[in-house]
Structure 1
Amino acid sequence: MGASLTPGGVNFAVFSAHATGLELCLYAPGGRHEVARLPFKDRTGDVWHIEVVGARPGLHYGLRAHGPYDPEAGHRFNVNKLLLDPYARAWSGKLRWSDALMGYRVGSPRADLSFDNRDSAFAVPKSVVVDPTFDWMGDQPPLTPWSDTVIYEAHVRALTMNHPVLPHGMRGTYAALGHPAIIEHLRRLGVTAVELLPVHGYFDDRFLVAKGLRNHWGYNSMGFFQPEPRYAQRDALTEFKGAVRALHKAGIEVILDVVYNHSGEGDEWGPTLSFRGLDNASYYRLVHGGRHYMNDAGTGNTLDLTHPAVLRMVMDSLRYWVEDCHVDGFRFDLGTVLGREPTGFSPQAGFFAALRQDPALQHVKLIAEPWDIGLGGYQLGAFPPPFGEWNDKYRDGLRRFWRGDAGLAPELARRLLASADKFDHHRRRATASVNYVASHDGFTLEDLVSFTIKRNFANGEDNRDGHDDNHADNMGVEGPSSNPEICAARDLRKRNLLATLMLSQGTPMILAGDEIGHSQGGNNNAYAQDNDITRLDWVHADTRLATFVARLIRLRSDHPVLRQPHFLHGKVRDTDGQPDVIWRRADGEVPSPGDWHNPAFRAIGLELRMSATFSPDATDTLYILINGDGPTRAVLPKTFARWRHLLDTTRPDAPATECRAELDLPAQSVHLFQPILPEGAT
């Protein structure tokens, strides 16, 4: 499918089940002037194809489709609209918003049932034939096990745009992502995977352009086979591959946030750019097969992955990014849409079955955002293995516990042990729970402890957009503060949240910038802010916090007991007669049912061992104490006579030291202890 090099030229193959004819439009270099228009004369099933002898990489082209314009029957063919190849590997030029992009006549009393006969070629980027060759220099995927994975969610542009070490012309690009300065920061932290916000080709929405804004996040994909050109200096595909190669050399995986649930063409009022003009009735889920679009993604349309050609396109796209671009995994935006069959969401949906059987995708990481706005859209825990899932229950539970909400001890306990209540079924692993405190969608960690009310006015929607309930706490002052006590309390809260995250079972994910104190000024929906609101402020980075995060990740790496692949349920181990999990109160005693139901129970201990079922010979033991209360007297478990204090969030720079069996815990703190075994003991 798409444009493929042949010994004699280039073959073009395009799907359309309902078109009556297709045309290939060839353009001079630069894409301004059409030089030839060739009809597709060959058709195999619903795939139209033509070979252009003598064509070479660099050729600019577009498509036109003949067919019925009958929106009420689901058809919106308009030969006057130049269309992008859904399989294009590159684009040339930018989208120029114009009413000529619409298949209907804007302002007509017949609305979208009217027909627009203006040519849109002047306003549409051109697809480009590319040479796919690239010197990978022996690149191999890191293949980091799930249990060793620490994810760093980042945006190519926001991460690199303000980095002072990078050359100005490189900032905000794929090349910057692979620059030694960025890679050294990631290695210093100890993260094992970078999860990139969408890099598939996309356009700035018309309503944003009218307000002088841009689609910064990129969740409106139009090109599922090409890296977004705005992040390139010259050649997006080559530069993206170069970044992947550099990250792999450093042992860091690359995971792509992908949006296969909808396209950037919007609803019936949107432009005709590609899918709509090639075969609207096949590509999209339509209400009763007619004029209007299903809108499970909340963006105007929904791609129909139950259609074989659409399913094939998505699978071809995934394979392309793995086989040709060497990416290591995918995070599926609004993943519930992808599993929605005619009868509703199903773990046995055709898309999931296709994913799980594909040999090319067997080694990659698959992560779902397990919700959408459709009926039955919240499906946390319902995805089939080997999926991981973003766990918003974890996010909200931790935020509420550290905010001081009453009665959160049982919730915290569930989340510390990888949310078995949601994920421990169908042979899923504990690593399926992707734990996070902050992500691109919502407050950053800094804003979580600095604001209680969102401040999204820069988005131009009168602060109506974004979530209102963020479980945030400004620690006494709304917004930035120079009060030393407020600043100290905020710093401690951030360390407590991060420490709890890294001491939890499951797969941890941190938001880029949280490790250096990045603030978005209270904007919790910065999707349109391609500016200093989202760009990391490296000059004023909190290097002490970054050092603390690196210490937490190193602790997690050093102790397999903190990152077990299997769920823990307090089963007794045959080797030492000890349960793999023992919950304790601050005084060292096991909590009673009354303690768990006590709203004031906020000092919780967790004695942790390797799984009784799967790691019976392992002896590693740690004791975690989480004190969400005031100053508390603590008694360490009598299981061991001596303990080493590995971590105290009130003293982030303190080295590990031997401690007494009883000690005073500072208010609002997280602690980690390791037994000191007698000499010669194992």
Structure 2
Amino acid sequence: MNRFPDRLEPGSPYPLGASFDGLGVNFAVFSANADKIELCLFDPQGRKELARLELREWTDEVWHGYLPNARPGLVYGFRAHGRYEPENGHRFNPNKLLLDPYARKLTGHVRWTDALHSYRVNSGRKDLSFDRRDSAAAMPKAVVEAGTFDWTGDVRPMVPWSDTIIYEAHVKGLTRLAEAVPKAERGTYAALSHPCVIAHLKQLGVTTLELLPIHAFVQDRRLQEAGLVNYWGYNTLGFFAPEQRYQSTDSGDELRIAIRRLHAAGIEVILDVVYNHTAEGSELGPTFNLRGLDNATYYRLVEDNPRYCVNDTGTGNTLDLSHPRVLQMVADSLRYWADSYHVDGFRFDLGVTLGRDGNNGFDPRSGFFDVLRQDPVLNQLKLISEPWDIGPGGYQLGNHPPGFAEWNDKYRDATRRFWRGDPGMRPEFANRLAGSADLFDRRARRPWASVNFITAHDGQPLRDVVSYEGKHNHANGEENRDGHSDNLSRNWGTEGPADDAATEALRDRVSRSMLMTLIASLGTPMLLGGDEFGRTQNGNNNAYCQDNAISWFDWEQAGSERGQAMQAFVARLIEIRKTYPLIHAGNFLHGEVEVAPGMLDIDWFDERGQNLSDEDWHNPDGRALVMRRVRRREDGDLESVLLVMNGSEDPITFHMPPPTMVRQLLIDSADPAAGERAVHETIELAAHAAAIVVGHKPVG
């Protein structure tokens, strides 16, 4: 389309964004403080501005207009006129092209230039100055999308929470080196559902694929100038558009097709989403969309000096979800991904920020939680919060409302500490193995609310946790200052790869013991993708900027004898978890219910087969622990599952706790290739090893 009318028709304030109705396109954008909003239309390549039309209607603070005869594929942006008063929180500058916050498809990428800032970057007045350069050439543009896709026959797996096993991965890193995938598709949405990927996930037995951010995001200027990239994607530009870099074609349906195929294989898809901040950074950051549309509304500003952004996220800005229109944008985005892409849930980055009621701190009854809990679509999905941010009172593990699961870093820390041999860990470790009831057993929450993990994208993978005691982030260009300084790791004598087979074998055993702990604990296990075959980042514990072999899955390693052995071990663990309901119990067990005489629903023993006394629990040198869970099956028989753990430096003979049962050792981290075997009164467990033993006692 090269010719446009002189003015827009009134159109409608709803829905927000650009909506094609078959005859034309309606445009609607919120701004409470703008004086005028203009719609800018571009050529198909987004290079030349062809027309500028004013949105003349303003209804309930939504600017709107209708362009007849417009079609999907139309490229556009906005310009907002108003006060440029940073000291009062207003930063309107019509010289800056603004991306539609509701854009569902983008074309082009940010091209870094000082013209992207609303102020003159080198001015002595800093952001109080005003920049008159047009930023359009450096900006990506929005593209009108029809948004039709035939989901007929798609069935969400709807895996019950208590059966859920999460696999966290990065879209690109998962398949970039997968030779079985066509070269043009490696590292893309299309590759997510390639038969080799689905086969791998199915063979492991995981139920749910959790993807690092795929919302359109910005490559940080600092990283680009340093020759690095924003690999993880926690720098959102648009909450409705999928990141273009992960597309193998221009088809907007590539991700939808992948999700549909994963659903057909019974695998759920969860998105890691970033609604706590945007890519616009602090008050000295660029102007991409929200800052230019209505900075004073979209962002939380310092109360007594609104020139400055509140920075509870550590990224320079914080979205103000206490404002109904900002909350609406987030809720609309979530519903869009649920409806248009059929995603099965969300993991909320810095979830505490989303639950902050303006500047009044975290509130589990904030508008964000209320909206999601009452929404008939969203409250049926899996909702996971990262329960911390850097703001005041920013650590809120266990304090989220029912319906939410939470990343449990206390589980991570306790597990790492126990298996590296820290003293006095038995009480804390036991709490975490039992589903962290001390944190979550309130308001009818269940053990699944604790998302248990040993490793995640943020930090070292499991192989490095047992191979490095320090961080090795030199490739990040920050002189190894970035990333956590304490990994709660142990290198077992040699920093990095070891030449002697004994050290490597010990590392493998400790890795298997930690994986067994993860899978056999109450709660929802989350496996970091690649840990199942020993992926390494060479000690880097902050690989956010490493879009290379440091972060990508090495599928040759996965195909090695060692990698295949580890994968078989993980698959067997998951199979055991699915087979024995006691391992993924849907309710908390407190050791208060006597299932049979002398047998509580959950109980704890030492290597002597005796209950731990208070003195035993607090013995700093005690590193042997047995967790026993018991149930009465439907046929009336008793069934027990024992997780037997030797965190010491020496082999230990474990005596089985009474009463006598028919017992079977299912798996031993020190001898993973061995088959099942009968257990009588004792088992010998190697140093740093764990085992699962099941017992059966017929009625009568």
Give yes or no for contact 1:634–1:662 (8 Å, CA) kept in 2: yes
Q: How far apart, in 1, do the equivalents of 2:223 and 2:539 lie?
A: 20
Q: How far apart, in 1, do the equivalents of 2:186 and 2:506 lie?
A: 34
Structure 2 SS opposite 1:345: coil
Structure 2 SS opposite 1:658: strand
Structure 1 SS opposite 2:383: strand
Matching residue of 1:344: 361
Q: How far apart, in 1, do the equivalents of 2:643 and 2:543 lie?
A: 36
Q: Deviations over 1:264-290 (max 9, x none)?
A: 000111111100000000000001261
Give yes or no for contact 2:290–2:298 (8 Å, CA) kept in 1: yes
Q: Deviations over 1:498-552 (max 9, x none)?
A: 0011110000001011111110011100000011110010012211101100010
Q: How far apart, in 1, do the equivalents of 2:34 and 2:631 lie?
A: 61
Q: How far apart, in 2, do the equivalents of 1:361 and 1:618 lie?
A: 40
The letter for the 2-side match of 1:623 is L
Matching residue of 1:15: 30
Matching residue of 1:292: 308
- Structure 2 unaligned segments of length 5 or more: list them: 1-15
Q: How far apart, in 2, do the equivalents of 1:543 and 1:574 lie?
A: 40
State yes or no: 1:546 paired with 2:546: no
Q: TM-score, normalised by structure 1?
A: 0.98
Offset of 1:236 from its aligned partner?
5.7
State yes or no: 1:534 paired with 2:554: no
Give yes or no for contact 1:69–1:77 (8 Å, CA) kept in 2: yes
What percentage of residue pairs aligned between the two structures are identical?
54
State yes or no: 1:555 paired with 2:572: no
State yes or no: 1:302 paired with 2:323: no
> Which of residues 166, 191, 195 is equivalent to 2:210?
195
Give yes or no for contact 2:270–2:344 (8 Å, CA) kept in 1: yes
Distance 1:278-1:491 versus aligned 2 partners, 3 A rule:
same
> Which of residues 95, 99, 104 is equivalent to 2:110?
95
Q: What pairs with 1:61-460 in structure 2 (closer than 5 Å)?
A: 61-235=76-250, 237-288=252-303, 290-341=306-357, 342-460=359-477
More displaced stretch, 664-673 vs 278-287: 664-673
Aligned residues: 678
Offset of 1:6 from its aligned partner?
1.6
Matching residue of 2:539: 522
Q: What pairs with 1:491-510 in structure 2 (closer than 5 Å)?
A: 491-510=508-527
Q: How far apart, in 2, do the equivalents of 1:253 and 1:359 lie?
A: 19
The letter for the 2-side match of 1:234 is T
Structure 1 SS opposite 2:185: coil
Structure 2 SS opposite 1:671: strand
Matching residue of 1:644: 664
Matching residue of 1:596: 617
Q: TM-score, normalised by structure 2?
A: 0.95
Offset of 1:647 from its aligned partner?
1.2
Matching residue of 1:570: 591
Q: How far apart, in 2, do the equivalents of 1:371 and 1:611 lie?
A: 39
State yes or no: 1:668 paired with 2:688: yes
Structure 1 SS opposite 2:599: coil
Offset of 1:591 from its aligned partner?
1.1
Q: Deviations over 1:2-48 (max 9, x none)?
A: 01012320101000000000000111111111111110011111001
Offset of 1:659 from its aligned partner?
2.1
Q: How far apart, in 2, do the equivalents of 1:200 and 1:107 lie?
A: 32
Distance 1:271-1:236 versus aligned 2 partners, 3 A rule:
farther
State yes or no: 1:635 paired with 2:650: no
Q: CA RMSD in A?
A: 1.5
Offset of 1:575 from its aligned partner?
6.2
Runs (4+) off by over 6 Å = 615-618
- Structure 1 unaligned segments of length 5 or more: list them: none
Q: How far apart, in 2, do the equivalents of 1:578 and 1:79 lie?
A: 73
The letter for the 2-side match of 1:570 is G
Q: How far apart, in 1, do the equivalents of 2:270 and 2:225 lie?
A: 33
Give yes or no for contact 2:19–2:25 (8 Å, CA) kept in 1: yes
Structure 2 SS opposite 1:321: helix
Distance 1:669-1:158 versus aligned 2 partners, 3 A rule:
same
Q: How far apart, in 2, do the equivalents of 1:465 and 1:406 lie?
A: 29
Q: Deviations over 1:453-488 (max 9, x none)?
A: 101111111111000011010111001123101110
Q: How far apart, in 1, do the equivalents of 2:593 and 2:368 lie?
A: 40
Give yes or no for contact 2:595–2:601 (8 Å, CA) kept in 1: no
Give yes or no for contact 2:637–2:696 (8 Å, CA) kept in 1: no
Q: How far apart, in 2, do the equivalents of 1:640 and 1:618 lie?
A: 14
Structure 2 SS opposite 1:620: strand
More displaced stretch, 142-151 vs 424-433: 424-433
Q: Deviations over 1:183-225 (max 9, x none)?
A: 1100000000011000000010000010011100000111100
Q: Deviations over 1:238-278 (max 9, x none)?
A: 11111110110110100000000000000111111100000
Give yes or no for contact 1:575–1:617 (8 Å, CA) kept in 2: no
The letter for the 1-side match of 2:659 is T
Q: How far apart, in 1, do the equivalents of 2:682 and 2:599 lie?
A: 22
